[in-house]
A and B are shown apart, each in its own frame.
Chain A
Amino acid sequence: MQALYAQLLVGLINGSFYALLSLGLAVIFGMLNIINFAHGAVYMMGAFVAYFLLNLTGLGYWWALLIAPIVVGIFGMILERTMLQWLTGLDHLYGLLLTFGMALIIQGVFQNYFGSSGLPYAIPDELKGGMNLGFMFLPIYRGWVVIFSLIVCIATWYLIERTRLGAYLRAATENPTLVRAFGVNVPRMITLTYGLGVGLAALAGVLSAPINQVRPLMGADLIIVVFAVVVIGGMGSIMGSIITGFALGVIEGLTKYFYPEASNTVVFVLMVLVLLVKPTGLTGRAA
């Protein structure tokens, strides 16, 4: 029983990454209608920016949490301005192929220079060590990851669903022409939204740098699972992707305990089941 609690908690930790990443994907899909396959690559870039900040400028983890999402977000906005914006109104497939191609290029460039085994990034001193919860030894850093991602997820949800800015955004997705008639600069808002989604991925990258090696393929390994999370939660649903992210982390954690061999397939089995029963995902609405 004790072991079970531990596995639940570990699942929650992994779920935080799924939630942060699928949240970004959901924001981008919901507002831009683009299936952003480059999400794993920008997650990886976030971790690399953290590494460079530490090793080239001496700026540590806390600065990285702030700077990496901004740097990578700006990179994302450049991509959106120069390439993605031309795909507005075309079939989803075009956006998917373009971003998939970009992901391969970005990963290839990083792998060319840094190899595949990755670079070390230490846990910040303030979050080192762990506490004994009785049923498990919880590294403080992992606890921090769960709490921090929860806060970021809820803040993002609040921004989009409860503020005036979010209302503009949602209106612009529904009917861009009308919103523009009210004097809102819709293209700029779309660009900023893409930057936000990408920045969230970069933030997840920074969070994961001390846990996993900073590797060029770290995003490629994760992104397929995250897509399954988004599909299960319902494409474009903000709250749905957050909740599904955490829930699937827990389910995957339990699988690792009861039948480890299946732990990298269980998410996809669930995806198939959900699609069979409810093709729009758990919280999605029919288009």
Chain B
Amino acid sequence: MKHRISAIFLGTALALVAGGALAQDKTVKVGVLTDNSGLYSDLGGAGSTLAAQMAIEDSGLAAKGWKVDLISADHQNKPDIATTIARQWIDVEKIDVLMDVLNSGVALAVNNVVKEKNSVMINSGAASSDLTNAQCTPNTVHWTYDTYMLAHSTGAALVKAGGDTWYFLTADYAFGAALERDTTAVVLASGGKVIGGVKHPLNSSDFSSFLLQAQASKAKIIGMANAGGDTTNTIKQAAEFGIVAGGQKLAGLLLFISDVHSLGLNVAQGLNLSATFYWDMNDQTRAFSKRFSDRMKTKAMPTMVQAGVYSGLLHYFKALEALGGNPHDGAKEVAKMKELPTDDALFGKGSIQPNGRALHPAYLFEVKKPSESKGPWDYYKLIGTTPGDQAFRPLSESACPLLKK
């Protein structure tokens, strides 16, 4: 027994020495773990992998003698599959950083693996604000958006505009629960009331039952705490059942541009939504999006999730360069990321909080009327901006254990 223990110590010591020697190591392996085939594959999926590819190309690391590898896998929205892939990637493939990891249920599961293995996750697609709250780790950066931001930007604006009674249609898993909880807090704080709600299974195709219940509740706002295909089907069927015509308003708490594109402006017009990225914001976002769209098989413009993969990965590369090489030490790399201010073409200037939350401005949009749109993908009107330091949960309210030292 004693021998074995000392052998382990020896092994560890050797590894540490080797780690030190490898500080000049200029190899990085990037793994994009996303939904490549299911209901979220349009908002992440192949587009997330393409965004990572573009970040690698645009980083210019290859010219500086770095060798960057990229692989991607489909987690099928199943936490068990995702954690198996993550373990294999980190242990066998020696992946340094996991990108995207959309779906909150999946993200929270992978979050633990990444911490246990001291790797890095830069999460773009998952919504749950728990990733930087109670579940925060020194190895995770949550880049693009979260439920707290969505609730505050969309929720507060709607209550202010007179929508003071709410009914929730919630996807029955971690994400829906987090979004409903965060939005409820905002509605109550702004003086509104939540008068009911219904939880539906993920990936439902028929929402008429739930919509009838929402209609019967007479709430002014029907908050859709779901995403992807669930949201588009809800909106389409709500129009059919005369819900909007009857004076109730739908609130898309998480709506992506891919959803709006799929619905068409006839159905989607007038909806409010919040996002941290839209392709048509300025010359830089337009240039990136044009390049992105040209390389997509579906010719789609990037969603904020895909844009987040690009920006998050670029920032990660900056941290590696600042470290002078890849230390293969997740916590150290993330600490460097937090130390450096963020600044990129898509999300602008910002920073990363000690709990891993990346800060940048949040935008409140309204979907254009068909007559206002100049063509495909010209969908949003900007109606409000929240600065980065106010858009996300303040550190004083955060339950992140990293903050209590």
Contacts and interface: CB of A to CB of B under 8 A. Distances in A.
Contact of A212 (B42, B205, B213): B205
A217 B42 CA distance: 12
B201 interface: yes
A116 B208 contact: no
Contacts of B242: 130, 137, 139
A141 B41 contact: no
Interface string A166-210: 000000000000000000000000000000000000000000000
A280 interface: no
A253 interface: yes
A7 interface: yes
* Central interface residue in B200, B212, B237, B258, by most chain A CB within 10 Å: B212
Residue among B42, B45, B206, B240 having the largest count of chain A Cβ atoms under 10 Å = B206
B9 interface: no
Given A211-B240, A213-B233, A261-B199, A116 B40 contact: yes
B212 A117 contact: no
A116 B261 contact: no
Contacts of A217: 38-39, 229
A213 B206 contact: no
A88 interface: no
Given A111-B37, A139-B240, A139-B241, A261 B212 contact: no
B172 interface: yes
Interface stretch (B133-141, B263-271, B306-314): B263-271
A10 B209 contact: yes
A82 interface: no
B285 interface: no
A14 interface: yes
A163 interface: no
A137 B266 CA distance: 21
A139 B211 CA distance: 13
Given A116-B37, A137-B246, A221 B201 contact: no
A111 B41 contact: yes
B216 A115 contact: no
Contacts of B67: none
B100 interface: no
A7 B216 CA distance: 12
A123 B241 CA distance: 12
A213 B42 CA distance: 14
A-B complex: 10 closest residue pairs judged by Cβ atoms: A256-B209, A117-B262, A120-B264, A264-B201, A117-B42, A116-B41, A115-B42, A139-B240, A10-B208, A115-B298
10 contacts: A116-B39, A116-B228, A117-B43, A120-B267, A211-B240, A212-B205, A260-B198, A260-B199, A260-B201, A263-B200
